[in-house]
Amino acid sequence: MRAERPLGPVMVDLAGLELAPDERELLAHPLVGGVILFARNYASPEQLRALTGAIGAARSPALLIAVDHEGGRVQRFVEGFTRLPPMRSLGRAYDANPGFAENLAGATGVVLAAELAAHGVDFSFAPVLDIDFGSSSVIGDRAFHSEAVAVARLAAALAGGMRRVGMGAVGKHFPGHGFVRADSHHEVPIDERELAVIEADDLAPYRALIAGGLAGVMPAHVIYPQVDSRPAGFSPVWLKDILRGRLGFDGIVFSDDLSMEGASVAGGIVERGHAALDAGCDMVLVCNAREAAVRLLDGLGPAALDAERAERMRGPGGRAAASGAAYRAALAQLGRGRDDGTLA
């Protein structure tokens, strides 16, 4: 019988299609609390179920299993899954018929969540709540729209569809990555706008989704010097004062990948982990950098993930999630959207 131990605050990745012996040891580390999957971890639906089953059996309570599965160019599992459209296509549909587009967004959320849950994945880091200001190529068509109201309505509908299946949504990249041109994977973006401007535009989708029970938030590796000299993911001003205090968010805060260049201003990997957790992140991600992940686990010190917040991200699981009437109806609705060209 596996010993019960609290989940830790670090989310790690895996090298391939099944757990290697050293990865089983890695997942047993007390500071590990979750696993993020990538395209390299997927070959078929059957293989994915076997992998998530092995991850789930690694410890008790089971580790959280996540993926970036937004649709469009950010969809890790393709063959055997419904090909989801980029969120911009929902924005184009919104321009023609807002109510119809919101229904399509809700159907997209149902399909996204049901298919992931049927394969043992707890949640996706979605939806993107960034506004498309025409500047950011890394966001681009991942954003629903160029208007905050449209982003809020479509994202709320998609999150509502996910919630119908029992899956929590994660809004990203707080407070907004859409205004800056630099890509935080490779640079340290700086957004010179004042807080009042960001509040009026970028924070509007967060207000709407938080009011509806948003389960998770991922902050951006972007510096907003008019508010704080630190990137949002390392800033207690953004995470504690604004996100939790002013906006009333009570869910889980995930750092963006600490191995990204946008996180480099916080120092080495251990310093980045401490800075993110001290700022208000509940869980930190280290992706595509196994040696850095091990250094973080060795140097971080004792820490635990808030159990109540973690459970809000626990997916419904089981194949039944993808076999219900809601899933079939949502698939049909997406098909109709494609037939009339709204999801091209």
Annotated catalytic residues are 185, 256
- The answer to whether 157 touches 137, Cβ cutoff 8 Å, is no
Q: What gap in Å lies between CA 20 and CA 165, rounded to an integer?
A: 32
Beta bridge partners of 36: 13, 66
Closest CA to 282 of 258, 257, 315, 304: 304
- 337 is written with which tokens? 């959207």
HSE-up of residue 159 (Cα within 13 Å, Cβ side) = 30
Closest CA to 229 of 173, 191, 255, 274: 191
Q: In 70-203, where does DSSP find H-type helix? A: 87-96, 98-118, 148-165, 195-200
SS3 341: coil
DSSP H or E segment with residue 171: strand 170-174
How many residues are given for the chain? 344
Q: What is the secondary structure of 7-59 as a DSSP string?
A: --SEEEE-SSSS--HHHHHHHTSTTEEEEEE-GGG-S-HHHHHHHHHHHHTSS
Q: What is the arrangement of strands in the sheet containing 216-219, beginning at the earlier edge strand?
A: 123-124, 64-67, 32-37, 10-13, 283-285, 252-257, 216-219, 170-174
Sign of CA dihedral 230, 201, 73, 124: positive
